[in-house]
Chains A and B, each alone.
Chain A
């Protein structure tokens, strides 16, 4: 176990370093922030002074080393635009995104697994066809279009749910979240559904495929031959086997949900890190973009770690530290 954690940590550091290099170079390619930050009628002396204060006059490798040195010390730079540490900008908004993503994940699993089971146990029935058709829609309609439709139906026509912002925040155990007020929850519903629809379709399909592949296996028949009830066969024997592929894919998708939150956050004006990213790219606020990407990569690493632990809990054949 400890070998596993140490090896993991070293891998993570390597991944973060490579990400830092790639991101730093990449962000350099997206334009010169000076043009955006300094008014066109500033004198050349003022200009030079601003450039020097931002450290943009030095060669790129020097800027990178400075960045790296600071990053190792927990300082991911200051935003050009807000003139505040990027990390606090991001941490301020991360809860909103996590809240959205986790709610979407819970929706996807809580609805997707039962629907997938129903579909898989009665393949080609009318119910199955209906569920599959729904999941094809969830897959193929673009997320932004689904979001706009949700707003149109539930906010504009029916007027049931708000369509922008995070609503009132409540505080519980020192955590600020829209989970804790009714207003916050109503604000959360539409964006969370929007973000979950694609994953929901995915979970349905994975579960259905899993059921269809597992049901004909010998161990299911053997369980029946023991006289085990059909309910226990489905919810213990089959479901536990399906969890293995489900956890794999969900782990990967959770990361992509954090990233895809960009679209949803933009549509619903959700004050999360996705919106911060878009704003920062528009304003060429390089340090924020770099810090954002590093935070996302760290989250990916963390999620993968949790997934591997879950694996070893679900599947006795997997032992931590033995996989390559």
Chain B
């Protein structure tokens, strides 16, 4: 087997606050293979973005990676000095953010923001950098890219801004792109165009992709493998078809019953009852316990990770009919 692009082991990222420590990411392990598209799903606040930021070393203080290992192409990132980390960001690992209205600096032209991204890593002339920026814009389907370089973010629609962000992420043909809900803020038609576009580009440049989303439907359409995150932990992982056809963890099942596209017409959507626990007051044992219909006495202990072939889950009472 070839070496994975990204290998995250027992990663914990904590935010010390006045009222206690928030374990935004809690002992998370996963890998991303070469050219693999991995979906990371979970409700709001489950720790998806912080997982992504941890990989890039961009967790805002006072938050920090407190333990665990992040190996990128065999290189340990958690111990890397700032300067070396900066050489990786944007060059070998790129990130796309959730809200395209906020990711571009409103007072700098698109060209400036793209050229600086080229020059941050490559010693080329300004003209050369500008040409590369123009080509990247063309590649993501922005019409008349040459002129658009001189435009400012407010002159673009949300969908177009997200394309610009994708173009910036592609400038250096990174080995890994972390896309943090890049289509959530867009309307549905544009969302599917961008999904299609990213999938095509990832294949074309043989990039690995971590796709963060709270929508299992989106992940189903895109990913090879899915990681389900709840309250800072990964509670289920496996190939996307297997997990979606036979979810093992009650939380995954809950998520599936809450996606509009997965529920047969006429049947009501069933949102998961209750709310995600406050990150400061998670129940002991399985943190899904007070929302879970299958919960029993034993769930007040910590469920361990069960691994069966290419699937894994953390649950004492996984669903019947799961991976045979």
Give bound CA distance, A244 to B108, whole Å.
Answer: 13
B166 at the interface (CB under 8 A from A): no
* A314 within 8 Å of B (CB atoms): yes
Cα A217 to Cα B60 with chains together (Å) = 11
Q: Any chain B CB within 8 A of the CB of A315?
A: yes
Interface pair A241/B89, CB less than 8 Å apart: no
Least Cβ–Cβ distance between A164 and chain B, in angstroms: 45
Task: Please tell me if the beta carbons of B105 and A227 are within 8 angstroms of each other in the complex.
Answer: no
Asked if A226 is at the interface (CB within 8 A of a chain B CB), the reply is yes
Interface string of A236-259 (1 = CB under 8 A from B): 110011001000000000000000
Please report the C-alpha to C-alpha distance between residue A264 and residue B114 in the assembled complex, in whole angstroms. Answer: 49
How far, in angstroms, from A241 to B152 measured CA to CA in the complex? 14
B95 touching A225, Cβ below 8 Å: yes
Given A218-B99, A316-B109 in contact, is the A225-B56 Cβ separation under 8 Å? yes
Asked whether A219 is an interface residue with its Cβ less than 8 Å from the other chain, the reply is yes
| A228 and B119 alpha carbons, distance in the complex (Å) | 9
Cβ of A221 under 8 Å from chain B: yes
Is the Cβ of A225 less than 8 Å from the Cβ of B99?
Answer: no
Confirm or deny: A7 has a beta carbon within 8 angstroms of a beta carbon on chain B.
no
For the complex, give the distance between the alpha carbons of A266 and B246 in Å: 86
Assess the B152–A316 pair: CB atoms within 8 A.
yes
Q: Is B37 an interface residue (CB 8 A)?
A: no
- The chain A residue sitting closest to B101, CB to CB, is A218
Whole-angstrom CA separation of A224 from B91 in the bound complex:
12
B89-144: which have CB < 8 Å to A? Answer: 89-91, 94-95, 97, 99, 102-109, 113, 116-117, 120-121
| A73 interface residue (CB < 8 Å to B) | no
Evaluate contact between B105 and A237: CB separation under 8 angstroms.
yes
- Interfacial chain A residues near B120, Cβ < 8 Å: 226-229
Interface centre among B106, B107, B113 (most CB of A within 10 A): B107
- Whether B102 contacts A225 by the Cβ 8 Å rule is no
A226 to B86, alpha carbons, bound, how many Å? 8
Closest chain B residue to A217, Cβ basis: B102
Whether, in the assembled complex, B58 has its beta carbon less than 8 Å from a beta carbon of chain A, the answer is yes
Q: Tell which of A216, A218, A240 touches B108, judged by Cβ atoms closer than 8 Å.
A: A240
Q: Which of A232, A244, A314 contacts B116 (CB 8 A)?
A: A232
Q: Which residues of A contact B90 (CB under 8 A)?
A: 225-228
Q: Are B107 and A216 in contact (CB under 8 A)?
A: no
B177–chain A nearest beta-carbon distance, Å: 11
B210 within 8 A of A: no
A222 at the interface (CB under 8 A from B): yes
Judge whether B317 is part of the interface by a CB distance below 8 angstroms: no
- B121 proximity list for chain A (CB < 8 A): 227
Closest to A223 in B: B105
A316 and B106 in contact (CB under 8 A), knowing A218-B97, A225-B56? Answer: yes
Q: List residues of chain A with CB within 8 A of the CB of B229.
A: none
**B105 touches which of A216, A219, A244 (Cβ 8 Å):** A219
Residues of B close to A226: CB separation below 8 A: 89-90, 94, 116-117, 120, 168
Do the beta carbons of B89 and A222 come within 8 Å of each other?
Answer: no
Neighbour of B107 across the interface among A222, A224, A240, CB < 8 A: A240
Are B107 and A218 closer than 8 Å at their CB atoms?
no
Which of B109, B120, B154, B168 is packed against the most chain A CB atoms within 10 Å? B120
Number of interface residues of B (CB under 8 A): 31
- Interface size of A as a range: 20 to 34
Q: How far is the CB of B130 from chain A (nearest CB, A)?
A: 16
Q: Is B87 an interface residue (CB 8 A)?
A: yes
| Nearest Cβ on chain B to A81's Cβ, whole angstroms | 52
Kindly provide the distance from the CB of B116 to the nearest chain A CB, expressed in whole angstroms: 6
Q: How far is the CA of A216 from the CA of B121 in the complex (A)?
A: 24
Chain A 242-288 residues near chain B, CB threshold 8 A: 244
Tell whether, in the assembled complex, residue A241 and residue B117 are in contact, meaning their CB atoms are under 8 Å apart.
Answer: no
Contact of B104 among A219, A229, A241 (CB under 8 A): A219
Is residue B41 within 8 Å, beta carbon to beta carbon, of the partner chain?
A: no
Q: Which of A179-234 contact B (CB under 8 A)?
A: 216-219, 221-229, 232
| Beyond A218-B103, A227-B90, 20 extra complex contacts between A and B, CB < 8 Å | A216-B60, A218-B99, A218-B102, A221-B53, A223-B105, A223-B113, A224-B89, A225-B56, A226-B90, A226-B117, A227-B91, A227-B121, A228-B120, A232-B116, A240-B105, A244-B107, A314-B107, A316-B109, A316-B154, A317-B106
Chain B interface (Cβ < 8 Å from any Cβ of A): 53, 56, 58, 60, 86-91, 94-95, 97, 99, 102-109, 113, 116-117, 120-121, 152, 154, 165, 168
Selected A-B contacts with CB under 8 Å, 22 pairs: A218-B103, A219-B102, A221-B53, A223-B113, A224-B89, A225-B56, A225-B90, A226-B89, A226-B116, A226-B168, A227-B89, A227-B117, A227-B120, A232-B116, A237-B105, A237-B108, A240-B108, A241-B105, A241-B107, A314-B107, A315-B107, A317-B106
Q: Which 8 A-B pairs have the closest CB atoms?
A: A227-B90, A218-B102, A316-B152, A226-B90, A227-B89, A226-B117, A222-B103, A225-B95
